[in-house]
Structure 1
Amino acid sequence: MNIINKLTLRQLLLNKRRTLVTIIGVIISVAMITAVASLGISFMDMMRRNSISNEGEWHVLYENVNKTQLEAIKNDEETKELILSRGLGYAFLEGSQNDNKPYIFIQEYNEAAFENFPIKLIDGKLPERENEIAISEAIIKNAKVNYKIGDTVTLEIGQRHYQDEDGNDIILSQKDDLRRFNGTIQETLIKEVTKSYTIVGIIENLKWEYSWAPGYNAISYIDENIIKPEEEVNSSVILKNINSKLFKNAENLASQNGIEKVSFNNDLLRCYGVIKDDNLRNMIIVLSIIVTAIIMIGSISLIYNAFAISVSERSRHLGMLSSVGATKKQKRNSVFFEGAVIGIISIPVGIIAGLLGMGITFRFINSMIQGVLGITENLKLVVSPVSILIAIFVSIITILISTYIPAKRASNVSAIDAIRQTQDVKIKGKEVKTSKLTRKIFGIEGELGLKNLKRNKARYRATVFSLIISMILFLAVSYFTSSLKKSLLLTQDGINFDVVVYFNDRDRVKQEEIINKIISLDNISEYNYIYSLDLNSWVKEEFVPDYIKEFQHEALSDGKYPYDISVKALDNEALKVYSEEVGLDFNKLLDVENPSAIVIDTIRYEDGRTNRYIEEKAIKTKIGEKLDLEFYDYEFNERVSVGSLEIAALTDKVPMGISSSIYGAAFNVIISEELFYKIAEANKNVSDNINRILYLKSDNPLILQEGIEEIQKSYVQDEISFYNLHMARQREERMILIMSVFTYAFILLITSICIANIFNTISTSIALRKREFAMLKSVGMTSESFNKMINYESIFYGIKALSYGMPISFFVMFLMYKTLMTNFSFEFEVPWFSVFISIVSVFIIVGSAMIYSSKKVKKENIIDTLKQEII
């Protein structure tokens, strides 16, 4: 080690505080890079495990393939493992106690399926021969026959057939519920084969089955070697290489071998970052580049400020080296050596801190996720060697970039200037001149504060730059995460309930009776029953969005366009909660003499032509306008007016049970129950078209389903029908929760970095101005005046930072918005709350940092400080 490096090490040890501040700055930056990388990888790992837990591990599915096609799939170079499955058919379950599930549904799997599909064995073993069967625990609970392991059962297996109104024969699957009318089953089970099985095991109910499926699950074994040439099976494939080429390879294989239907496990493939849609892939790549650039800029800013201040404090030391013959190269290398030493210490600590921080965060997040949704899969800290190497590489590059400018500056400073520390203050009179208005508004303290900032331009710019970067980081990340969350919501179906109950009997008294019985059941956390009536309205052209005019231009009549209006009525308790949520006086909706409604004016849909997810205004009207409603009476082939509604509120919020997933000239309106029946009673044919639906949320939907099934037995079977959509809602809420956790974790991380950056920059900047403050005090500046000057400096810092930071932040947010619009369509919305937080935080953080730092300076002795700086 040469003498220059030895002296550099000694300086680092002698100036422990400055060295520690620099090390902490680099550690924070490295920890941020590591935390973001591990956060993304760990989330993807959890989603991957969750997808496998729910739907099994497979990548491509070829449906209804014969023996020859199966061989082609097996011999494909990309095939790693072949999973065979087949729905053999239905057989009547002897002694079934559930009228909605009279069948056993037999599915056949090979060994690979048992290994890779989420089939959980409770007792016994899984089938190993074609004459063995494992039945679900639901069969044990719901059949009068006491089935047990070792029993032999003979089943007459066939397919469910149903004739529609046109006489077409339809084969029903597990996706189709039992066909009933007036309590009579309208479907027929046509026998195809009789088979005898030995019960060898009991399994849990299969996760992927629909709750309304009419057949209880039983699984048997399928042997690839004995499949006949004419028989067809489904072939799920686990691939060797998971990349974007798999879509084209699979489609080519299907085309070459005459396979008609091929599909992909998109939920699992997304967790590997593999997406079929090129536009979506490009959007993610661009967004990733933007976010990575934001993180890099924040890291470089933080480390640069740390080294810039370090070099500024070391200027006298560098000047002395220059005075005894150190060359420019030696001085420059001294700074690079300092960066290397700091990096060797900080990078390992930063990586450990980032991983440890994420590990602790995940422990808290896991308990929250399990408490909210009961998810069994936990977030686990996944440490990828590649991500660690990337974090190290990025950190090294960041340190090199951050030290280059200070190193260059250090090499160019002359010995005299460095020893006297005059390099930071090179000004002319005009450069520190302030207007008379400044003194009038802020006084002498404000003028001194502004002159100080102008006089120390380098430090002033460093502090303002730090504020600007922090502001851009916070606002850009806030907009990025909120936009991703909104984009995710657009891709969901909007299922905000667990169980939906339909009433096919129009008798209102009977409906009330059934509703009261259902809502008295246990395990109901929230319920909402909604009256629904489909009406029409003609809307003025000026209130119709352009996209509706485009596809309905021929429907224009007398300057108006036709709309489908779905009128929904909530009971008073639910309506009161909802009206408060949208900011409307509940009593206004109860006035049936002056009828009014809440209009849900925003619709969401997927455009089949462009594959874009779109959020649009279905109607661009305003509060106070009228909607004239009419009903088309098919009996008399005429339109019947049923009154008008005043628009009392416009909103995009929807109550439980209502979805804004509508396409075209249509929207929902919400009114009171009393007003609803006043409209309905205007015409008998109108009242005959009323639908009443009950929506339920539950903490145990399967137990609730059993309770509803018991109530259902007391009535004619087709009077009540229901669907348990708990799994679908859970899947949607899980995705939204995961995105929320990612959002808030990312924002918290960035906010912490921003605060640390600003505090570090301002506190060290104040520390470097000890002599300046000592001189002001020596000429009579009081503590009160000093505090005012510091406060005004804080304000000037904040104003300057906002004047640059806000426009740049808006530009970055709009750039992200345009990138997202390749796959989505919604209006650009400025996150005003985040903007407000940013503005307030800038002044609070700057003020706090200035006050905190200046308090330390106040304790310094004036004479000692002046002597120390001029020696």
Structure 2
Amino acid sequence: MRRVSNKAFIRKLADKSFRASRTRNIIAVVAIALTATLFTTLFTIGIGTIENFQQQTMRQAGGDSHGVIKDISPQMYEKMSQDPSVKECADTMLVAYSVENPEFLKRHVEAWYYPEYHYPHCFVDILDGRAPQKADEILLDEESMNLLGLELKAGQKVTLQMKIRSSADAVTERTFTVSGVTKSDPALNVGFAIVSEAYRGKYADELVYTYDQDGSTTGTVRMDVNFANSFSIQKKLERVIENSGYSSDETDPDYVASNANWAYVSDGGETDPVTAGAAIGGLILIILTGYLIIYNIFQISVIRDIRYYGLLKTIGTTGRQIRTIIRRQAFVLGFIGIPLGLIGGFIMGKAVVPRVMEVSAYGSDSVAVSMSPSIFIGAAAFSLLTIWISTGKPARIAAKVSPVEAVRFTEQSGRRKNKKRSTDGGKLWRMAFSNLGRNRKKTVLVILSLSLALVLLNSVFTVADSFDMNTYLKKFVSYDFQIANARYFGMDPYRGISEDEVQEEKLSESLIESCKEQDGFQEGGRIYETDGCVGLRKDSWKVPSYVPTDENGVAGKYWNGQFSTLNLMDEENYRVSFYGIEDFYYSRLEVWKGEKDWQTIREKMKTGKYVIATVEPDDNGFVEKEEVWLLPGDKVTLTYGGGQQREFEVLSVVKTDYWSMTNRLNGNFKFYVPAELFKEMASDQYLMSYGFDVDDDKEQAVSDFLTFYTTQEEPLMDFTSRQSYIEQFARLTQLFTLVGGILAMVVGVIGVLNFINTILTGIVTRQREFAMLEAVGMTKKQLGKMLMLEGLYYAVLTIVISLVFGSVFSVTALRLLIGGMWFLKYHFVIWPMAVTFPILLILGVLVPKAVLRFEKKKSVVEIITNL
């Protein structure tokens, strides 16, 4: 067969055919734009959120370096920095164990040395002044300057109370000139004081490396490392260590610790299967919704123009050329619709990303929405892929049809219809219902696209309705307000080691009394705690068989594959977190095993013969066997007061209330006794916190009072409230509803557009049929009624399918998903779909009516002879 160069002709033919299908083109452009909008929104939210999380995580990690080699000497740094795989590194150094100024109690300040060239990697942004050069010059962040009552200008004097090493008995006061003011990092409640290289030289004697002797981190080098790329960071760090003659094995004496910056998601970490599944599911959902409408548009378009393609076959056009014509038209529409979708999707994503960051643990006022080319390239590529897939079958149908088949083609499923005999004439409702079966595939696609939107909408509201505020609040707060020393809520928490140290971390009685005087105060209670005065005799506790022990029988746990024994107070006693509680707390205990009636618990505890033990539950509140070390009825002997001993029976085992009834540190053994018994065994100086309830209508007033009091009257005290967690929970729920609602809305618009397109093209392609019906006596009014009945059938079938599938999907997949999240409790919800059903019925009537009204009026003879 002779090859003819006719590509230009085919392009011209495709373009002319394209211009002749204006209605289809408009609908297709809108559909493609919506599909591209979905993809762009997904990519913008996904990539934008990941980049912001990564940026904020880098800030919390201390910089954007790939990894860090920790606690090494300057000599070790020099050796490791020569490794050929290291592209860039810095010898940052902690120059003081802590900065003890009382103004920094609520906001921890650290003193570091950073090389000036490394400032950008540590997010050091100088707002005023310059980097320190002299030994008595320093960079200080703006928030720390505010806390010290200084103007945000360089050149001012500041005195820092520096505890050089953890073992130091005294605090060293040093006066510096602020050479520059740096921007405070909103991702951290931590300030930084940065000294110069000259400072390291002047105080070299106190910055001597002693970590291998006493574990002091002052004077150690934190080696920030960057490699050629961020793949396999941890393995590269370990290779650098081993190449320098040291070990990355914790059991070796020459072990050197390192860790990859957890902000780099490319470091070979395992992907959460739920997250990965959700991402893949989202892509499949969007491709499916885009496919449904684009496929349907071109399927109907091919059916409408099937005689045209048959005529092209008669003049020698090949099937391949016809496929090219259809593909070319589709991609021309894509090049129009996709840019519109990219813009719309980016605008949507830009609105959502800040909300995602706002409710996250990384909340920041410096959220930037990514303009990464990968967003637009990825969205455009997936949109083009969807167009390619969607137009495949319609193109094949047009390519395969023969000229004779094209002339005789009618829109039906291809099944041979059974002949029906009727004596009462044709009924409009029967004719309308039969018309739905003419092309069952098209009918199924329309109903499926509409049902998918309804099911998605219902799923979004089902999950949103499953957000359980009581469960969420129960994890964080058991009463309206909690007051404590600011250290309790900070990075350097309450420990209760000794009566001397506790003076700087205990709660003041004056704040408690002030709270009691507030209008609306109901009741409250104190919690006392010590980590250093009470121990559990090892020989009084029978170690369960499933708890690992070392060769001496000391119990422990495995952390990252390494066995670590429990903390010991001395050779004969395990360290205990010992709590004294007042009556206010008994009703708030969540008992796992043992006595459950809180009034009985209170009465028995007053006898002084019992203790309450704790067990650590998982996020869903379940208790694993391996975490159970004591059971009700077990006898334990506690030591206190320099050798005194007292035997107790475990009355109940309660689930640990980490945020409301502990010092927020992970202790191995936690015991509760009445407050009076605690004072007898330890001291009344260990006052950790105070919780209380107020009248609902007084919560805001009490919150305002505490804000003022802890700022102006006793700035060393602080508080948290139930209302703050309620607001946090509300933001989380709103975020999910916003993101899911946008997705459901766009999918819904696609479904409605598909429905309108089906009715519209159905009327256009069936004009000959309608003319024949009019020729045998059907009026235009009857014709309109038949089409409205078809629209109603579409709506009713959609309602039935979405009800059935939505309900099944809700009680199976959604219920399973919701059950895996600790703050969700499944509730069967159907009202979002029910609200949309009347809208569907109205559309089913109005769309056919509107289409018929705007159709051009032609005579029956003209239609029959010209079509």
Normalised by the shorter chain, which TM-score bucket?
Answer: 0.5 to 0.7
Task: Find the aligned partners of 1:856 and 1:142 in 2 and give their Cα distance.
Answer: 68
Residue 75 in structure 1 maps to residue 82 in structure 2: yes
Check whether the contact 2:140–2:193 (CA below 8 A) recurs between aligned residues: yes
Alignment match, 2:574: none
Deviation at 1:760, TM superposition (A): 2.3
Q: Structure 1 residues 603 and 322, CA, compared in 2 at 3 Å: closer, same or farther?
A: farther
Check whether the contact 2:484–2:688 (CA below 8 A) recurs between aligned residues: no
Residue 60 in structure 1 maps to residue 67 in structure 2: yes
TM-score when scaled to structure 2? 0.64
Per-residue deviation, residues 423-474 of structure 1 (Å, max 9, x unmatched)? 435443459999xxxx9xxx97765554332233132122133235545665
Alignment match, 1:558: none
Per-residue deviation, residues 489-525 of structure 1 (Å, max 9, x unmatched)? 99x99589997416999xxxx988633535899xx99
Alignment match, 2:384: 396
Residue 413 in structure 1 maps to residue 401 in structure 2: yes
Residue 693 in structure 1 maps to residue 690 in structure 2: yes
Residue 261 in structure 1 maps to residue 254 in structure 2: no
TM-score when scaled to structure 1? 0.64
Q: Structure 1 residues 3 and 628, CA, compared in 2 at 3 Å: closer, same or farther?
A: same
Alignment match, 1:219: 194
Residue 245 in structure 1 maps to residue 232 in structure 2: yes
Task: Find the aligned partners of 1:60 and 1:372 in 2 and give their Cα distance.
Answer: 22
Task: Name which of 839, 846, 854 aligns with 1:852.
Answer: 846
Task: Find the aligned partners of 2:195 and 2:177 in 1 and give their Cα distance.
Answer: 10
The residue identity in structure 2 corresponding to 1:615 is: N
Residue 778 in structure 1 maps to residue 778 in structure 2: yes
Per-residue deviation, residues 652-696 of structure 1 (Å, max 9, x unmatched)? 999994799999999999xxxxxx99x999x99999999852489
Deviation at 1:407, TM superposition (A): 0.8
Per-residue deviation, residues 528-559 of structure 1 (Å, max 9, x unmatched)? 9556699xxxxxxxxxxxxx99889xxxxxxx
The residue identity in structure 2 corresponding to 1:517 is: S
RMSD: 6.6
Task: Name which of 448, 452, 459 aligns with 1:465.
Answer: 448
Q: Structure 1 residues 666 and 811, CA, compared in 2 at 3 Å: closer, same or farther?
A: farther
The residue identity in structure 1 corresponding to 2:170 is: L
Is the partner of 1:455 in helix, strand or coil? coil
Task: Name which of 751, 763, 780 aligns with 2:744.
Answer: 751
Task: Find the aligned partners of 1:704 and 1:393 in 2 and give their Cα distance.
Answer: 55
Task: Find the aligned partners of 1:63 and 1:323 in 2 and give their Cα distance.
Answer: 79
Check whether the contact 1:450–1:796 (CA below 8 A) recurs between aligned residues: no
Q: Structure 1 residues 570 and 12, CA, compared in 2 at 3 Å: closer, same or farther?
A: farther
Q: Structure 1 residues 475 and 2, CA, compared in 2 at 3 Å: closer, same or farther?
A: farther
Check whether the contact 1:130–1:222 (CA below 8 A) recurs between aligned residues: yes
Q: Structure 1 residues 105 and 303, CA, compared in 2 at 3 Å: closer, same or farther?
A: closer
Task: Name which of 296, 302, 319 aligns with 1:328.
Answer: 319
Alignment match, 1:637: 647
Deviation at 1:246, TM superposition (A): 0.2
The residue identity in structure 1 corresponding to 2:235 is: K
Task: Find the aligned partners of 1:453 and 1:92 in 2 and give their Cα distance.
Answer: 78
Check whether the contact 2:451–2:802 (CA below 8 A) recurs between aligned residues: yes
The residue identity in structure 2 corresponding to 1:243 is: S
Deviation at 1:25, TM superposition (A): 0.8
Alignment match, 1:310: 301
The residue identity in structure 1 corresponding to 2:439 is: N
Alignment match, 2:288: 297
Deviation at 1:826, TM superposition (A): 5.6
Deviation at 1:764, TM superposition (A): 2.2
Q: Structure 1 residues 454 and 517, CA, compared in 2 at 3 Å: closer, same or farther?
A: same
The residue identity in structure 1 corresponding to 2:196 is: Y
Task: Find the aligned partners of 2:663 and 2:437 in 1 and give their Cα distance.
Answer: 56
Check whether the contact 1:97–1:144 (CA below 8 A) recurs between aligned residues: no
Alignment match, 2:792: 791
Check whether the contact 1:630–1:639 (CA below 8 A) recurs between aligned residues: yes
Task: Name which of 372, 375, 378 aligns with 2:364.
Answer: 375
Task: Find the aligned partners of 2:353 and 2:361 in 1 and give their Cα distance.
Answer: 15
Task: Find the aligned partners of 1:113 and 1:283 in 2 and give their Cα distance.
Answer: 38
Alignment match, 1:560: none
Per-residue deviation, residues 261-314 of structure 1 (Å, max 9, x unmatched)? 223432x32xxx235543x36665454333333332232223212222222232
Check whether the contact 1:604–1:660 (CA below 8 A) recurs between aligned residues: no
The farther-off stretch of 234-243 and 452-461 is: 234-243
Task: Name which of 385, 388, 392 aligns with 2:373.
Answer: 385
Q: Structure 1 residues 399 and 687, CA, compared in 2 at 3 Å: closer, same or farther?
A: same
The residue identity in structure 1 corresponding to 2:367 is: N
The residue identity in structure 2 corresponding to 1:233 is: T
Query: After the TM superposition, which residues 438-457 of structure 1 pair with which residues of structure 2 at under 5 Å, given as runs?
Result: 447-457=430-440
Task: Find the aligned partners of 1:103 and 1:36 in 2 and give their Cα distance.
Answer: 38
Task: Find the aligned partners of 1:285 and 1:813 in 2 and give their Cα distance.
Answer: 16
Check whether the contact 1:26–1:346 (CA below 8 A) recurs between aligned residues: yes
Deviation at 1:344, TM superposition (A): 2.6
Q: Structure 1 residues 431 and 528, CA, compared in 2 at 3 Å: closer, same or farther?
A: farther
Q: Structure 1 residues 604 and 302, CA, compared in 2 at 3 Å: closer, same or farther?
A: farther
Check whether the contact 1:106–1:217 (CA below 8 A) recurs between aligned residues: yes
Deviation at 1:747, TM superposition (A): 1.9
Q: Structure 1 residues 859 and 527, CA, compared in 2 at 3 Å: closer, same or farther?
A: farther
Query: After the TM superposition, which residues 170-181 of structure 1 pair with which residues of structure 2 at under 5 Å, given as runs?
Result: 171=167
Is the partner of 1:61 in helix, strand or coil? strand
The farther-off stretch of 31-40 and 785-794 is: 785-794
The residue identity in structure 1 corresponding to 2:434 is: K
Deviation at 1:19, TM superposition (A): 1.3
Deviation at 1:830, TM superposition (A): 9.0
Per-residue deviation, residues 210-243 of structure 1 (Å, max 9, x unmatched)? 78xxxx9643213699679964433242524443
Task: Find the aligned partners of 1:388 and 1:97 in 2 and give their Cα distance.
Answer: 51
Task: Find the aligned partners of 1:390 and 1:91 in 2 and give their Cα distance.
Answer: 48
Residue 515 in structure 1 maps to residue 512 in structure 2: yes
The residue identity in structure 1 corresponding to 2:394 is: P
Is the partner of 2:91 in helix, strand or coil? strand
Check whether the contact 2:411–2:438 (CA below 8 A) recurs between aligned residues: no
Check whether the contact 1:86–1:108 (CA below 8 A) recurs between aligned residues: yes
Deviation at 1:330, TM superposition (A): 3.3
Structure 2: unaligned runs, 5 residues or longer: 1-6, 210-218, 247-254, 489-495, 500-506, 530-543, 549-577, 590-596, 605-613, 626-630, 639-644, 694-698
Task: Find the aligned partners of 2:162 and 2:856 in 1 and give their Cα distance.
Answer: 99
Q: Name the structure with the higher strand share.
A: 1
Task: Find the aligned partners of 1:655 and 1:42 in 2 and give their Cα distance.
Answer: 33
Is the partner of 2:170 in helix, strand or coil? strand
Is the partner of 2:135 in helix, strand or coil? coil
Check whether the contact 1:315–1:418 (CA below 8 A) recurs between aligned residues: yes
Q: Structure 1 residues 149 and 243, CA, compared in 2 at 3 Å: closer, same or farther?
A: closer
Residue 34 in structure 1 maps to residue 15 in structure 2: no
Alignment match, 2:50: 44
